[in-house]
Structure formats: C-alpha cells, structure tokens
Amino acid sequence: MTNNQRKIELTDNQWLKIEPLFPKQVTGRPAKSNRLMLEAMIFIGRTGTPWRDLDCEYGPWQTCYSRFRIFLFA
C-alpha cells in the first residue's frame, strides 16, 4: 500500500449519516479530520492493535487517542 492510499473503514454513505453528530470547529488551529480519527478508532477496535502501534496513515497515535478520550467522555 502506498502512502497516498489508506484503508477504507467507513463508506461515504455511512460517513454522511454520522458526520452531523460531530461538532464543527470554530476556533484554533485546524484539527485532524473527524472521519480520519473515527476510522482510526474503528481500526483499533477491529484489530485490537495497541494505540502506539496504530498505522501512521491515521496520523500520530497520540492525536487519535486524545480524540478517542474526548469522544468517550462526551
């Protein structure tokens, strides 16, 4: 798999149904894509991979884990 390709965890139709549930960012620096972060969480859940071993295609594991914690307690 090349760096420009990534595994598809959610179809576009699934994402269109879920997207409105995420808050819009209004201030601060641009955040990582909610879809990318959710796909990282799905990947972790499906594979049981430790956060530190998350594929780099999803971004830094720390960012994904932080977003997971925010979603978990929201």
Domain boundaries, the chain: 32-74
pLDDT for res 2: 47
Token digits of residue 1: 């798999």
pLDDT for res 43: 92
pLDDT for res 14: 93
For residue 67, what are the CA distances in angstroms to 13, 25, 35, 38, 51?
23, 13, 11, 9, 12
Within the chain, which residues score under 70 in pLDDT? 1-8
Q: How many CA atoms lie within 13 A of 71 on its CB side?
A: 16
43-64 tens-digit pLDDT: 999 999 999 999 998 999 999 9
